[in-house]
Amino acid sequence: MSVTVRVPAKVNVQLAVGAARPDGFHDLANVFLAVGLYDEVTVTPADELRVTCEGPDAAQVPLDRTNLAARAALALAERRGIEPAVHIHIAKDIPVAGGMAGGSADGAGALLACDRLWGAGASRAELLAICAELGSDVPFSLVGGAALGTGRGEQLTALEVGGTFHWVFAMADRGLSTPAVFREFDRLAQGRDIPEPVASPDLLEALAKGDPDALAAAVSNDLQPAALSLFPELADPLEAGRGAGALATLVSGSGPTTAFLARDAESAEKVARALRGSGTCRSVRIAAGPVAGATVL
Ligand code: C5P
């Protein structure tokens, strides 16, 4: 018997970052949108905990107990006092170290899959609590849709979205480490007053209306200058996407994936073609959102 869970990637349409906290994290106003790029996590009973991964970026995925999927299985097994004797297989389509919550998706997927496989019967609240222990973005991977994340991003409030938004994503030829991007944010912020992060009312209204032009005018990412400082070549796909008619261009989360909001599906195709021909990125994908969170198949 095995259980497979499908989990989406995310893009941050707003990422407002506050000053570093004493625990090293940053308070955020993080507006997540789940988009239709998916990892599939399959768990099967086995003699011991084992992780395997397939997909174009599989070689970059750690298969030891640092993998968030393995940590999710361990966390649930420990709470139930059982052995985490499970083979976790990840069919990976979300870019690795790309700022699209691929690792978080695998954590949320493995948790839900193990809960079903073991008949652990964890409540939604318990699943969310385990997700928050695993990482700041993991609760959102479980719930999907659109949500405002506060605290370090793990405290979620679901958001209403009045339509489908069409996105193009350009993958870079190397990854960026999230802690390194936050450290660079701190370095760039030195000597400046950092305001409390708050969600933009215009952005929330644009989401609720499903209005791509209004959303384009309101998107923002406080980590973008830090990502560009560590990875200056990211300016090239951003410029290529803008030139191709994207309504908005931004770094996705801590990067280095760049995200392009298009007016409709046709325009997304056009932006994707231009990016593919621009030689500024490794690969290009189209995905729309919002979509559902982790789902048992
Ligand atoms: O929570 P997660 O493990 O995904 O965070 C990875 C790293 O990103 C943290 O160790 C921290 O350096 C940084 N981070 C942060 N503030 C947040 C979320 C993440 O500084 N709100």
Going from the Cα of 150 to the center of ligand 1, the distance in angstroms, rounded, reads: 13
Which residue segments constitute the domains of the chain, with CATH numbers given? 3-159 (3.30.230.10), 165-289 (3.30.70.890)
Mean pLDDT of 121-125: 98
Whole-number pLDDT of residue 255: 95
The answer on pLDDT for 16 being more than 90 is: yes
Mean pLDDT of 209-218: 98
The pair of structure tokens assigned to 193 is: 């007053």
For this structure, is 137 an active site residue? yes
Going from the Cα of 268 to the center of ligand 1, the distance in angstroms, rounded, reads: 31
Q: Is the dihedral of CA 36, 242, 12, 258 positive or negative?
A: positive
254-276 pLDDT per residue, tens:
999 999 999 999 999 999 999 99
The answer on pLDDT for 239 being more than 90 is: yes
Indicate the top mutation candidate among 12, 25, 222 to test ligand 1's pocket, ranked by most ligand atoms within 8 A of CB. 25
Mean pLDDT of 210-231: 98
Mean pLDDT of 34-49: 98
Q: Mean of the per-residue pLDDT values for the chain?
A: 97
Going from the Cα of 23 to the center of ligand 1, the distance in angstroms, rounded, reads: 10
The answer on pLDDT for 19 being more than 90 is: yes
Whole-number pLDDT of residue 97: 83
For this structure, is 209 an active site residue? no
CA 287 to chain centre: 13
The answer on pLDDT for 106 being more than 90 is: yes
Whole-number pLDDT of residue 247: 98
Mean pLDDT of 144-169: 98
Whole-number pLDDT of residue 267: 98
Whole-number pLDDT of residue 211: 98
